Amino acid sequence: MTKARPRPRRRALHIAADSTLAFVGIVTLAFILMPVAVVFAVSLTAGESFAIPTGALSLRWYGELFGDAHWRHAFFNSVSIGVLSTLGALVLGLPAAYAATRYDYRGKFVVEGLALSPLLLPTVAIAAGQYLLLAKLSISGTMLAIVLTHIVYVMPFVFIICGLGIAAIDPQLEAAAFSLGASRWTIFRRILLPNMLPSVVAAALLCFVSSFDELVLALFVGGGVKTVPLTILGELKYQLKPTIAALSVSLSLFTVTAASLAILLMRRGKVKLGAVVS
C-alpha cells in the first residue's frame, strides 16, 4: 500500500506556484506601466528637452498643448471624424448584427466573414485598397474619405458587440410584440434598443476611440486633413518636445476611461465577449 504525499509538501508547492504567478504578474504590470510613468514624468518638466525632470515640476506643456490652435484644430478634426465614423458604423452595423443573430440564410458565413474582415486584414492592405477606390471617386484627401475609411475599419466592433447584445435578448419578446400588432420600428424602439443599450454605447465608445487613435488609414487617404495622430507624426519629424508627452498622457487617460466605461457597460448588459454569435 502506497503512502499518500504529505499535505505540507503539496501546500508548499501551491504556495510556490502562487508566489511565482504573483511575481510574474507584478513584473508584467511594471513593464507595461513603466513607460507610461516615464512619459508622465516628462510631461511635467519645466525645461525644453524631452527628458525626465530633475528640478521643479510644471504644467507648462499642458498649457501649451491646450492653448495651441494647431493642436486644437487637429483635436477638432479627430473628434469630428470619430463621431461621424461611429454614427456611420452604428447605422450600418446594427442591421447587419441583427440579421446575423436572428436569421439563417444562404451565404451567412461569407457575410459574417466580410463583416469581420477589417479585424483580420492588415491595416496597410485596407488603407491601400481604400486609397485606390477613393482616388477614383475623386474624394481622396478629404475628411469624407477618412470618415468612410474609418466606418469600414470600426464597424466590426458594432457587429460583434451589438450582435452579442441582441443574442442575449429573448426572441419570444419580439414575437409576442409582433403578434400584438407592434411594428418593426416599435419593437426596435421599445424592446430591442432599451435592452441592448449598454452594448450599443460600449460599441460606440470602442469605435470612437479606435477612430480617434488611428494613424495608417488617415495617412493614406487623409491628404491635408490633420488629425491628432498625423499631427504627432509631423511633430516627431522635426523635434521631440514635451508637448508630445503631455498629449500622450491626456490621450492615455481618455482611452483608458472610455475603454473602462465600455467594459462596465458590457458587464451591465450581461454581454460576454466569449459568447458566439449564432
Q: Are 30 and 96 within one domain? A: no
pTM for this prediction: 0.77
SS3 sequence, 128-139? HHHHHHHHHCCC
Unique residue bearing C-alpha cell 509538501:
9
Please, what sign has the CA dihedral across residues 12, 18, 23, 24?
positive
| 275: in domain | no
Residue 140, classified by CB atoms within 10 Å of its CB into exposed (0-12), middle (13-18) or buried (19+), is: buried
Q: Are 160 and 237 within one domain? A: yes
| 239: in domain | yes
| 157: in domain | yes
Could you tell me the pLDDT band of residue 271, with boundaries at 50, 70 and 90? Answer: very low
Q: Determine the average pLDDT of the residues in 191-203.
A: 86
| 213: in domain | yes
Domain count, the chain: 2
Tell me which residue range forms the domain holding 37: 1-43
Q: Are 66 and 146 within one domain? A: yes
Q: Are 124 and 249 within one domain? A: yes
pLDDT at residue 207, rounded to an integer: 93
Could you tell me the pLDDT band of residue 266, with boundaries at 50, 70 and 90? Answer: low
What's the DSSP call for residue 140?
T
Percent of residues, the chain, with pLDDT higher than 90: 17
Dump pLDDT digits (tens) for 127-139: 999 989 998 888 8
Q: Are 171 and 252 within one domain? A: yes
Could you tell me the pLDDT band of residue 158, with boundaries at 50, 70 and 90? Answer: very high
CA 27/CA 251 separation, integer angstroms: 25
Could you tell me the pLDDT band of residue 144, with boundaries at 50, 70 and 90? Answer: very high
| 127: in domain | yes
Q: Are 131 and 216 within one domain? A: yes
CA 23/CA 126 separation, integer angstroms: 40
pLDDT at residue 275, rounded to an integer: 37
Dump pLDDT digits (tens) for 44-100: 877 777 777 777 777 888 888 888 888 889 889 999 999 999 999 999 999 999 988
Q: Are 136 and 222 within one domain? A: yes
For residue 101, pLDDT beyond 70:
yes
For residue 217, pLDDT beyond 80:
yes
Q: Are 88 and 2 within one domain? A: no
CATH number at residue 135: 1.10.3720.10
| 276: in domain | no
| 48: in domain | no
